[in-house]
Amino acid sequence: MSAVVKVPERRSTHTESEDDIATGIIKGLKDFKDGRFTRLKNAEELEEHFRNL
């Protein structure tokens, strides 16, 4: 005898800002693949880079 279970419909909790983040990651990966990236020597340079974004 088989049983049937009703599962509630999934609602998207996906927000527009998550789309922006995903789009940014994809763009960054494409840039990296094409050789466009920045080499940072240490954590301080990384911190400065993020502050300037």
pLDDT given at position 14:
61
DSSP letters, 1-53, are: -------PPP-----HHHHHHHHHHHHHHHHHHTT------SHHHHHHHHHT-
Query: Which tokens go with 53?
Result: 């974004």
Q: What is the pLDDT of residues 1-48, one digit of tens each?
A: 566 767 677 776 666 777 888 898 999 999 999 999 888 899 999 999
